[in-house]
A and B are shown apart, each in its own frame.
Chain A
Amino acid sequence: MFPKTRLALGIFLLALAQQGSCQSTRTPVQQLLRDFAREYRALDIPQLEYDYRDYLRAIPPLAVLDQREAFFRKYAQQTAALDTSQLTEAERSSWKHLRYQIDLHLERCALEKQIQSGSTMAVPAEGLYRLPHGKALYRFYIRYSTGVHISPDEVYQYGLSEVAKIQAEIQAIRERAGLGRDSAAWLQHLNAPAFFLTERDSVVAGYERIKTQVLAHLNTLFEQAPDAVPDIEFMTWPNAGPYTPPGMYSSADNNAYGTAVFQFNFYGSRHNRRAMDWLFLHEAIPGHHFHRFTRKNTAADHLEGLWFAGGTIEGWATYVEYFGEEMGLYRDDWAWLGKWEWDLVRSVRLVLSVGIHDRGWTKDQALAFWKANIPNQDDIAEREITRCTNWPAQVLSYKIGAKKIFELRAAAQQREGAHFDLKRFHTRFLTAGNVPLEIM
């Protein structure tokens, strides 16, 4: 009786399974991705948001970490066991992405278990350096924020070299303006009324002109037709203050206006002309707005929306800032200067971040480095140092992301030689989706 029942049950289950497979055209990898995404969502693992102190205080007990680790190990085995010989290009990309995320999460689990097992100590406010596992945690933060395998020392050296390069660019502009030696006159010149738009409608009209210009030149670097790019509107950033960033993009899916919007900082009724070209490239086209549009036209996999690939998103927007001339912008030194001025801030942040979290810099050391390298911007130094301290490695996503995209491009160029097509490279990047740069 018993064996017969078991047999019958076995046949019944087999029938169910066959029925399931007849109805579905889902491949094993798609099934794996779907299961993973469903179970991952149920685990409700928080993203590493602002302020590492909150993150550290919220690390769950060891039993929960064990449960998470077991989940990732299970999927590590399943992804390793999967036959990848028949995967489509899109499936292979999703599979690689999943492997990457499992690896990253296992690294996080191991760190959190070490932290949780260690002695309880007050979380220091000065950064990760003084924590028992601070250096390893900072390396994890770098990988998490940028999607790139890069050591703190490499970030530091790159930051220093970028600072020197940008300072040389700025110096060259100063010399062409005849103000190479006279720093006081230079600073006075930068604050000249001619550099600031004080009528809101003039700013909007300015951005409209820039948009027309960029769309007219879009074909120089991109395959996408200009008239396919959805419209973007310009408006002031509501309730902007002196510390509000210069601009922000929000897509039609993420705002209440029903259309994509680029908001610019008009605090004190003025907007810096020098920043308009690079800011448009970064926030709008071919930056965030363009990236969003191309991604929307690409089929999403089951992993879409689980993580934010900061280095990919911000790296792209920073990468395209270099192509102002190709896009019909950067017509004079002043537009270039605007780009370099903000690039200098971003590059100094690289050094500060590593200094604070990996080398134990005090706030005074950080402030001294800022002042030695960025003249006339002491007012935002406090804010920047606080940001670099509280939100480890997030500031790296822009520059390290862009650096990696240039490296990917160089590698493709070398690989493909005479067949390399920059427009095609851009399309491949843009349609790869919200995945970390390391697996592009």
Chain B
Amino acid sequence: MRALKTILFSLILAGTTLPLAAQTLARRAFFGVRMENISDETARIMQLPALKGVLITSTLPGSSAEAAGLQRGDVWLSLDGREINSADEGVAALRSLREGRTVHIRGLRQGKAFEQDVVLKPIPTTAYADFDLEYGVVQSGDVTLRSLISRPKKAGRLPAVLFVQGVGCYSIDTPLDTNAIETQLLNRLTRQGFVTMRVDKQGMGDSQGLPCTELDFDTEGQGYRQALAQLRSLDYVDPARVFIIGHSMGGVFAPRLARELPVRGIVAYGTIGEKFMDYFANSRRTIGEAWSMAPAEIDTYVKQTCDCFQPYFEHGTPLGDIVEIRPQCRELVSDMGRTTAFWQQLYRLDIPAQWSAYTGRVLAVWGKADYISVRAEHQHIADLVNWAQPGRGTFLELEGCDHGMHQAATARLAAQGGAGDFNPAVSEAIGQWLKANI
């Protein structure tokens, strides 16, 4: 009887701890509007009194905006007194909001002012019939991050993959966009029998912490480290068959993570294989070629851009100061989207040494329509691995794939907005390699 009570207690505990942990992280708000900036042309056509606000082009089914009665054609002017004058400002104002709150908005409808409260609903979760998708949490220091774990409906300890995303401040938890490449890639790998895990950066999706734009490289890496540790410890994951897939900047984090927590192999897609400054020069060349610059023009562009950015990466010299001292840099430098500390930490990394030190198996993949990263650096990663551990490094060039794993015929087409959806060739190639190396 006592034993039964213990089991029952454990079951209750088991049944309550996981949801409780998930509940500690509120879902982000599902405001649910599509927006378009108001230009002077929009103002003319709609006879708006001023170039203020942002135009709502649609409300999403099931969203807070729809429930509150916001309509296509409304001009949204402010949220809780904070002015909104572009789609970016709208997204920024909504980013930190969580489910359950009530916000006050002001706007214009057919020329007349309106204001109203909007009760924020949670962004939906996604579920699939043929595998489980769990919304979990990862604790990184005192910050809680949102994780998504997909799990095949199979018994036993399964091989697993941690996906580490690129440098940008975007969420990997996109229930409204099932075409997102992370979703497409990881769903397909799950259907091939792999447990997969991804985690949102601080400030993105449901994750707490700093805004992503204020997050440095090392702190971001801590989140992935904790995620990897958790993945390895799951009772349905075989810790000896855990892999990392690093996409773009994620490919730089991957061998660092593997140094601390061994993994069987790494897939790096569209990543960096040289020291950052060398990569920066190489990738400017790729970009120049993708934008059809003349060879001489590319040489100048590469040299000048590197010269302009060098003091920023090396010493943290503010970009404004660089432009003041060297006015020719004005057209070449722009905000890099992350903190100066992020780029300085990256600049100091010995990326080739990380790959040389890694003793597991490596697949370095480069899409032939990648207009950012560099073919030779992927070959270089495979060479570095093979030099230390012959036969363990593989370089793979994929036809018709761009930097973002989308379908694209050429880099030129992809760079100029001509890429399509996720290219299944990526998941097929990666899945094949993973299976061969389990």
A125: nearest residue on chain B (CB-CB)? B400
- Chain A residues near B400: list those with CB within 8 A: 125
Q: Given the interface contacts A51-B421, A235-B42, does A258 sit within 8 Å of B416 by beta carbon?
A: no
Residue-wise interface mask of A (363-407) relative to B, using a CB-CB cutoff of 8 A (1 in contact, 0 not)? 000000000000000000011011000100000000000000000
Interface contact A257-B56, CB-CB below 8 Å: no
Chain A residues positioned under 8 Å from B46 (CB to CB):
257-259
Quick one: CB contact mask for B91-124 with A, threshold 8 Å, 1 for yes?
A: 0000000000000000000100000000000000
State whether B413 touches A256 (Cβ < 8 A). Answer: no
> B42: which of A243, A244, A257, A390 is its contact (CB, 8 Å)?
A257
CB of B37 within 8 A of CB of A243, answer: no
Contacts of A236 in B (CB 8 A): 39, 41
List the A residue with the shortest CB-CB distance to B409: A382
Bound complex: CA A235 to CA B37 (Å): 14
CB A122 to nearest CB in B, in angstroms, measures: 8
Question: Closest A-chain residue to B41, C-beta based?
Answer: A235
Partner of A257, one of B45, B413, B416, B421: B45
Q: Is B73 an interface residue (CB 8 A)?
A: yes
Expressed in whole angstroms, the minimum distance between the Cβ of B367 and any Cβ of chain A is 14
Contact B58 A241 (CB under 8 A): no
Residues of chain B contacted by A53 (CB below 8 angstroms): 424
Interface contact A256-B417, CB-CB below 8 Å: no
Nearest CB in chain A: distance from B185 CB, A: 15
Does A298 lie at the interface of the complex (its beta carbon under 8 Å from any beta carbon of B)?
no
Contact B39 A238, beta carbon cutoff 8 Å: yes
Contact with B along A228-259 (1 / 0, CB 8 A): 00000101101001111000000000011111
A383 adjacent to B418 (CB under 8 Å)? yes
- Considering only CB atoms, which chain A residue lies closest to B400 in the complex? A125
A65-89 near B? 1/0 per residue, CB < 8 Å: 0000000000000000000000000
Q: A-facing mask of B34-74, CB < 8 A → 1, else 0?
A: 00110101101110000000011110000000000000110
Per-position 1/0 for B398-423, Cβ under 8 A of A: 00100000000110010011101100
Interchain CA distance A258-B109 in the complex, whole Å: 11
A125, A238, A244, A382: the one within 8 Å of B37 (CB): A238
Which residues of chain A are near B45, meaning CB under 8 Å?
233, 235, 257, 259, 261
Q: Which residue of B lies closest to A241 (CB)?
A: B417
CA distance A243 to B424 in the complex (A): 24
Q: CB distance A256 to B39 under 8 Å?
A: no
Q: CA–CA, A241 to B419, complex, Å? A: 12
A25 to B36, CA, bound (A): 46
A187-202 with Cβ < 8 A to chain B = none
> Using Cβ atoms and an 8 Å threshold, which residues of chain A touch B413?
243, 382-383, 386
Distance A233 CA – B41 CA, assembled complex (angstroms): 10
Inter-subunit contact A242/B58 (CB<8 Å): no
List residues of chain B with CB within 8 A of the CB of A238.
36-37, 39
User: Which partner residue on chain A sits nearest B73 by CB separation?
Assistant: A256
- In the assembled complex, how far is the CB of residue B224 from the closest CB belonging to chain A, in whole angstroms? 32
Expressed in whole angstroms, the minimum distance between the Cβ of A223 and any Cβ of chain B is: 29
User: How distant is the Cα of A235 from the Cα of B46 in the complex, in angstroms?
Assistant: 12
CB distance from A314 to the nearest CB of B (A): 22
Check B39 against A258 for contact (C-beta < 8 Å).
no
CA distance A236 to B42 in the complex (A): 10
A256/B56 contact (C-beta < 8 A), A235-B41, A390-B420 known: yes
Could you tell me the distance in whole angstroms from the C-beta of A275 to the nearest C-beta in chain B?
20
| A256-273 interface with B by 8 A CB criterion | 256-259, 261
- B325 → A minimal CB distance (Å): 32
Q: Known: A233-B45, A238-B39. Is A382-B420 also a contact (CB below 8 A)?
A: no
Complex contacts, B416 vs chain A, CB 8 Å: 241-243
Complex Cα–Cα for A87 and B169 (A): 62
Chain A residues with CB under 8 Å of B41's CB are: 235-236
| Cross-chain contact B420 with A243 (CB below 8 angstroms) | no
Tell me the residues in window 108-139 of chain A with beta carbons closer than 8 Å to chain B beta carbons.
125
Are B410 and A257 closer than 8 Å at their CB atoms?
no
Contacts of A235 in B (CB 8 A): 39, 41-42, 44-45
Taken together as a complex, chains A and B put the C-alpha atoms of A385 and B56 apart, in Å, by 35
CB atoms of B73 and A257 under 8 A apart: yes
Minimal Cβ-Cβ distance residue in A for B56: A256
A233 to B418, CA, bound (A): 28
Chain B residues within 8 Å of A51, by CB: 420-421
> For the complex, what is the distance from the CA of A385 to the CA of B39, rounded to whole Å?
35
Q: Give the Cβ gap from B200 to chain A, nearest Cβ, in Å.
A: 27
Q: What's the least CB distance linking B315 to chain A, in Å?
A: 36
Identity of the chain A residue whose Cβ is nearest the Cβ of B39 in the assembled complex: A238
**Cα–Cα distance between A243 and B416 once the two chains are bound (Å):** 7
Residue of A nearest to B74 (CB): A256
Tell me if B36 and A256 are in contact (CB < 8 A).
Answer: yes
- B72–A256 contact, CB under 8 A? yes
Residue of chain A at shortest CB distance from B423: A125
- Tell whether, in the assembled complex, residue A256 and residue B58 are in contact, meaning their CB atoms are under 8 Å apart: yes
CA distance A242 to B42 in the complex (A): 22
Chain B's nearest CB lies how many Å from the CB of A23? Answer: 33
| Chain B residue with the shortest CB-CB distance to A383 | B418
Closest Cβ of chain B to A389, distance in Å, is 10
- CB nearest neighbor in A for B71: A256
- Among residues 39 to 63 in chain A, which have CB atoms less than 8 Å away from a CB atom of chain B? 51, 53-54
Across the interface, name the chain A residue whose C-beta is closest to B428: A122
Most A CB within 10 A of own CB, among B42, B58, B110: B42
> Is A256's CB under 8 angstroms from B55's CB?
yes
If the complex has contacts A236-B41, A256-B56, A258-B110, are A382 and B410 also in contact, measured as CB distance less than 8 A?
yes
Complex CA gap A238/B417 in Å reads 14
Docked pose: A255 CA to B41 CA in angstroms:
14
In angstroms, Cα B42 to Cα A386, docked, is: 33
Residues of B within 8 A of A125 (CB): 400
| Chain A nearest CB, measured from B187 CB (Å) | 13
| Distance between B55 CB and nearest chain A CB, rounded to angstroms | 5
How long is the Cα–Cα vector from A67 to B72 in the complex, in angstroms? Answer: 38
> Are A256's CB and B37's CB within 8 A?
no
Given A235-B45, A382-B409, do A243 and B73 touch, yes or no (CB 8 Å)? no
B73 x A258 contact (CB < 8 A): yes
> Using Cβ atoms and an 8 Å threshold, which residues of chain A touch B36?
238, 256
A254–B409 Cα distance when bound, in Å, is: 32
- A243 contacts B72, CB within 8 Å? no
- Write the A210-239 contact mask toward B (1 if CB under 8 angstroms, else 0): 000000000000000000000001011010
Tell me the chain B residues, 415-438 only, with Cβ under 8 Å from chain A: 416-418, 420-421, 424
Q: Beyond the given A241-B418, A261-B45, please list 18 additional residue pairs across the A-B interface where CB-CB is below 8 A.
A: A51-B420, A53-B424, A125-B400, A235-B41, A235-B45, A236-B39, A241-B417, A242-B416, A243-B418, A244-B417, A256-B36, A256-B58, A258-B46, A259-B46, A382-B418, A383-B409, A386-B409, A390-B420
Q: Which residues of B contact A (CB under 8 A)?
A: 36-37, 39, 41-42, 44-46, 55-58, 72-73, 110, 400, 409-410, 413, 416-418, 420-421, 424
Which 6 A-B pairs have CB atoms at the shortest separation, nearest pair first?
A: A235-B41, A241-B417, A256-B57, A233-B45, A256-B73, A382-B409
12 chain-A/chain-B pairs, Cβ below 8 angstroms: A53-B424, A235-B41, A236-B41, A238-B36, A243-B416, A256-B57, A257-B42, A258-B73, A258-B110, A382-B410, A383-B409, A383-B418
